[in-house]
Amino acid sequence: MTRILKVENIDKAFGKNKVLKNISLEMSPALLYGIVGENGSGKSTLLKIIVGEWKPDRGIVSVSGRLGYCPQETLLFSLLTVDEHFHYFGEAYGIGKEELGRRSESLMNYFNFTKYRNYRIANLSGGTQQKLSLAISLLHNPDLLILDEPYNGFDWDTYLLFWDLTDKLRSEGCAILVVTHMLTEKKRFDRIFNLELGQLS
């Protein structure tokens, strides 16, 4: 079976604090994976290593295809508008103007925040900022989508839309990793890992 993500023997320490110990996992296309663990268990550290933001002390990460990442804390620019964010990230992803217009409109409509397109980020609620962050992670049609506490701040309707979206993405072959301290909708997942004391089980 094709592997879209392979993590092999990852170690990470900060000083004498060993946060991750010999972490290995594999992901295949069109499946939904979860990693659950208490706050401070190393979940975000593992994600930052997978997406290339941090380097491990030991081990290898291999990703096949386009990677989308929605971090726990939104990486948005307070003085830019919603539209300006789509243009900024569209340029970074190399998406043509017409295609970018179609994709951004589709995402704003899906998550119901089109009316905020000319609002600066500083004037948006936390929930709308989270919607935009998720939309940006989907802008380039990723093959692997990594989500860190993705539904924090969502209202109930958006929460339901999120799970509908995961079903749609899986049907298109996207592999999804949801990382959270409290995993809901467990029946939707193909595989759930537990991260505890720096080890994955």
CB atoms within 10 A of CB 92: 11
Q: How confident is the model at residue 152 (pLDDT cuts 50, 70, 90)?
A: confident
pTM score above 0.85: yes
pLDDT tens-digit readout, 80-123: 999 999 999 999 999 999 999 999 999 999 999 999 999 999 99
pLDDT tens-digit readout, 49-74: 999 999 999 999 999 999 999 998 88
Q: Using CB atoms within 10 A of its CB, is residue 123 exposed (0-12), middle (13-18) or buried (19+)?
A: exposed
Domains of the chain, earliest start first = 5-200 (3.40.50.300)
Largest CA distance in the chain: 51
pLDDT of residue 146: 97
